[in-house]
A and B are shown apart, each in its own frame.
Chain A
Amino acid sequence: MEYFLTEQQKTLKSLARRIAEEKVLPVRAELDEKEEFPWEIIKTLADSDLFRIFVPEQYDGMGSSSLDLCLVVEELSKVCSGVAVSYAATALGAYAILLYGNEEQKQKYLPAIAAGKRLAAFGLTEPTAGSDVSNIKTTAEKTPEGYVLNGTKQFITNGGEAEIYTIIAVTDKSKGARGASAFIVEKGTPGFTFGKKEKKMGIRSSSTRELIFRNCLIPAENILSKEGMGFVVSMRVLDHSRPGISAQALGIAQGALEAAVDYTRQRVQFDQPLISLPVVQYKLAEMAMQVEAARALVYSVAKTIDSGAKNFTEESAMAKVFASDVAMRVTTDAVQICGGAGYMRDYPLEKMMRDAKITQIYEGSNEVLHSAIAMELRKRKGRRE
């Protein structure tokens, strides 16, 4: 399919593919097995300027296009989505600063992120606040010295490895969701420690940890936007980051499709390659159609954002839900048609199936996002009447 990528985007895509094939492929099984953070690959991505593509030029970046980020995440995810999310989570952490940071904050943090010298992370989820974001318990109390943070964040991607964290905490309990604010907290700040490292079903090379704040004092200037904007910051950041997760799901699905085609061309049963059997052909064709439809949607949403659209909650949610459901279906079917080989760890498909599951869960569960889409439909209808 022709998606009319620019020359620069084609270059970017082939660079990401080359890194995925030459640097990630040889180690992906080992990274998964050992649940090891892919520092060496992160360094390669940094040296190749891939952290610059979501940062504007005036902060040492190379632009900030949603589609560029999607292309890189897709290529990396075809090979290993654990690596891809470790990379993309920095974009998630950086979005809050990009969208809501003041000039000083941007100058201070973005160049190091663009150079890949410091990774970022986004801390919203808590033991009592997942889909119900309004129920966060972490507090930020204003004192003459600055804000004092107390509480625990849970399931934070890049936790422990990142150095720059965007944290959502309550500044005014009486105001509910409007009482939350967003802060930048640096690793190494006294009172900020890391809790247990989660053992996950998939994306096992990525780091997922608790962030613990115990009387953690941060300077007052570390607030993003102003008090009470925490909920808005979170929602806008996630609207921006969801195409990245969609691209991750898309990459996993594409990778599984390719692996399934490779295997079914070689595997002979009933005196012919599996791919000659109508039942297998039907499944592969279904998979290919779903993957291409997901790609068309993901790229269109990314292009919508890049065109300067103001509100794209609905589009962004659609891409994420659709692509992640495709990833789950396609990886499950790929395992099925490859049979025993699909199920074994010597082949990449079982990992892809485990990795696919999280894309339906994080950055807004697909169920919550269905509600968000429906709310937009309702609002729009209401406006027309």
Chain B
Amino acid sequence: MNIIVCLKQVPSTTEVKIDPKTNTLIRQGIKSIVNPLDSYALEESVRLKERYGSRVTAISMGPPQATEMLRDAISSGADDAILLSDIAFAGSDTLATSTTLAKAIVKIKNYDLVICGRQTLDGDTGQVGPEIAEMLGIPFIAYVNKIEEIANGKLRVQRMVEDGYETIETSLPAVITVVKEINVPRMPSLRGLTKAKSAQIPTWTTQEINAEKETVGQAGSATWVVKVFYPQRVQLAEMLKGDPETQAKALVEKLREAKLI
């Protein structure tokens, strides 16, 4: 069985700053990490490898620096990795990102399961997983919290829904996105780190994945960022003054005025 896991490098903070001129993230001086939810996808791939003897390929679309993240993926158990990097991929929205990833997956050809994290820390859309499935024309299951079994070309999983769990069976190949409840990602191993150091990680460009230039990057994006802004901080609280008794009376008065009591 061949598993493809999709990873993304994101800034290691939730308090990102935005360049007011270009409306894009300021990435300088901020350490990059693997998108936390993607690390659960990687761990699940490696667990499936240990369970079923599969082969795990990690792929990522990103700048050349993302190679380091892919090396980390190898040190944590991925067999090999491919970086999708091209100046033409810059400015991709979820549609263009999914197009690029789907094209790369088609080129890899032999795959049974594609695993992604539920969503990213930076974009936060959760759209790339389902879009890949749509483009590949294969089944998709979101929010998987447990892989029960893979047998006879079928996959049975448990997934989290708002008021409980669903057990779903699908044919393979398929795409799934996982939630953090699915596992606890492992530490890298010494053997993995040694292997990662010398691993050859090829870079595929637009040409290598046989994509049309107008379908990737900004050109292939259906959406573009018009404006990015911080929500305005507004102080609406009113502090009641006086001793506790006066404060309590004033509070009751306010609640009456608001017809809450």
A16-44 near B? 1/0 per residue, CB < 8 Å: 00110011000000000000000000001
* Measured CA separation A19–B193 after assembly (Å): 14
* Measured CA separation A171–B193 after assembly (Å): 47
Q: Are A47 and B190 in contact (CB under 8 A)?
A: no
Task: Identify the closest chain B residue to A62 (Cβ).
Answer: B190
Query: B202: CB under 8 A from chain A?
Result: no
Within 8 A of A (CB), among B129-169: none
Task: Identify the closest chain B residue to A22 (Cβ).
Answer: B187
Task: Identify the closest chain B residue to A46 (Cβ).
Answer: B189
B180-224 near A? 1/0 per residue, CB < 8 Å: 000000111111111001000000000000000000000000000
Shortest Cβ distance from A70 into chain B, in angstroms? Answer: 16
Residues in A whose Cβ lies below 8 Å from that of B197? 7, 11
* Measured CA separation A8–B193 after assembly (Å): 9
Shortest Cβ distance from B131 into chain A, in angstroms? Answer: 34
* Measured CA separation A44–B188 after assembly (Å): 10
Q: Are A49 and B187 in contact (CB under 8 A)?
A: no
Residues in A whose Cβ lies below 8 Å from that of B188? 15, 48
Q: Are B186 and A49 in contact (CB under 8 A)?
A: no
Q: Are A50 and B186 in contact (CB under 8 A)?
A: no
Residues in B whose Cβ lies below 8 Å from that of A22? 187
* Measured CA separation A62–B192 after assembly (Å): 12
Query: A12: CB under 8 A from chain B?
Result: yes
| Choice from A8, A18, A44, A47 contacting B194 with Cβ under 8 Å | A8
Q: Are A18 and B187 in contact (CB under 8 A)?
A: yes
Query: A52: CB under 8 A from chain B?
Result: yes
Q: Are B187 and A12 in contact (CB under 8 A)?
A: no
Residues in A whose Cβ lies below 8 Å from that of B186? 44, 47-48
Task: Identify the closest chain B residue to A68 (Cβ).
Answer: B190
| Choice from A8, A47, A53, A62 contacting B187 with Cβ under 8 Å | A47
* Measured CA separation A326–B192 after assembly (Å): 36
Q: Are A48 and B187 in contact (CB under 8 A)?
A: yes
* Measured CA separation A11–B187 after assembly (Å): 13
* Measured CA separation A22–B187 after assembly (Å): 9
Task: Identify the closest chain B residue to A14 (Cβ).
Answer: B193
Q: Which of the four size classes fits the interface of chain B?
A: 10 to 19
* Measured CA separation A22–B184 after assembly (Å): 13
Residues in A whose Cβ lies below 8 Å from that of B193? 11, 15
Shortest Cβ distance from B101 into chain A, in angstroms? Answer: 29
Q: Is the interface of B mostly helix, strand, loop or mixed?
A: helix
Shortest Cβ distance from A24 into chain B, in angstroms? Answer: 11
* Measured CA separation A358–B188 after assembly (Å): 32
A134-148 near B? 1/0 per residue, CB < 8 Å: 000000000000000
Residues in B whose Cβ lies below 8 Å from that of A62? 190-191
Q: Are A12 and B189 in contact (CB under 8 A)?
A: no
Shortest Cβ distance from A11 into chain B, in angstroms? Answer: 5
Shortest Cβ distance from B62 into chain A, in angstroms? Answer: 23
* Measured CA separation A53–B194 after assembly (Å): 13
Shortest Cβ distance from B147 into chain A, in angstroms? Answer: 20
| Choice from A7, A23, A49 contacting B189 with Cβ under 8 Å | A49
* Measured CA separation A53–B191 after assembly (Å): 10
Q: Are A44 and B187 in contact (CB under 8 A)?
A: yes
Residues in B whose Cβ lies below 8 Å from that of A7? 197
- With most chain B CB atoms within 10 A of its CB, the pick from A22, A23, A49 is A49
Q: Are B190 and A52 in contact (CB under 8 A)?
A: yes
Q: Are A11 and B189 in contact (CB under 8 A)?
A: no
Shortest Cβ distance from B184 into chain A, in angstroms? Answer: 10
Q: Are B189 and A48 in contact (CB under 8 A)?
A: yes
Residues in A whose Cβ lies below 8 Å from that of B190? 11-12, 15, 48-50, 52-53, 62
Residues in B whose Cβ lies below 8 Å from that of A18? 187
* Measured CA separation A34–B188 after assembly (Å): 29
Shortest Cβ distance from A230 into chain B, in angstroms? Answer: 34
Shortest Cβ distance from A126 into chain B, in angstroms? Answer: 37
Q: Are B187 and A19 in contact (CB under 8 A)?
A: yes
Shortest Cβ distance from B196 into chain A, in angstroms? Answer: 9
Shortest Cβ distance from A58 into chain B, in angstroms? Answer: 16
Q: Are A47 and B189 in contact (CB under 8 A)?
A: yes
Shortest Cβ distance from B51 into chain A, in angstroms? Answer: 15
* Measured CA separation A7–B188 after assembly (Å): 16
* Measured CA separation A48–B194 after assembly (Å): 12
* Measured CA separation A12–B179 after assembly (Å): 31
* Measured CA separation A48–B191 after assembly (Å): 8
Shortest Cβ distance from B69 into chain A, in angstroms? Answer: 16
Task: Identify the closest chain B residue to A52 (Cβ).
Answer: B190
Task: Identify the closest chain B residue to A49 (Cβ).
Answer: B190
Residues in A whose Cβ lies below 8 Å from that of B194? 8, 11
Q: Are B191 and A15 in contact (CB under 8 A)?
A: no
Task: Identify the closest chain A residue to B196 (Cβ).
Answer: A11
A207-223 near B? 1/0 per residue, CB < 8 Å: 00000000000000000
Shortest Cβ distance from B186 into chain A, in angstroms? Answer: 6
Q: Are A23 and B187 in contact (CB under 8 A)?
A: yes
* Measured CA separation A8–B196 after assembly (Å): 12
Shortest Cβ distance from B17 into chain A, in angstroms? Answer: 27
Shortest Cβ distance from A124 into chain B, in angstroms? Answer: 30
* Measured CA separation A199–B186 after assembly (Å): 32
Shortest Cβ distance from A32 into chain B, in angstroms? Answer: 22
Residues in B whose Cβ lies below 8 Å from that of A47? 186-187, 189
Residues in A whose Cβ lies below 8 Å from that of B189? 47-49
Residues in B whose Cβ lies below 8 Å from that of A11? 190, 193-194, 197
Task: Identify the closest chain A residue to B186 (Cβ).
Answer: A47
Shortest Cβ distance from B72 into chain A, in angstroms? Answer: 11
* A-B contacts, 9 listed (Cβ < 8 Å): A15-B188, A15-B190, A15-B193, A19-B187, A47-B189, A49-B192, A52-B191, A53-B190, A62-B191
4 smallest A-B Cβ distances: which pairs? A49-B190, A49-B189, A48-B189, A48-B187
Not counting A49-B191, A53-B190, a sample of 8 additional A-B residue pairs whose C-beta atoms are within 8 angstroms of each other reads A11-B194, A11-B197, A15-B187, A23-B187, A44-B187, A47-B186, A49-B190, A52-B191
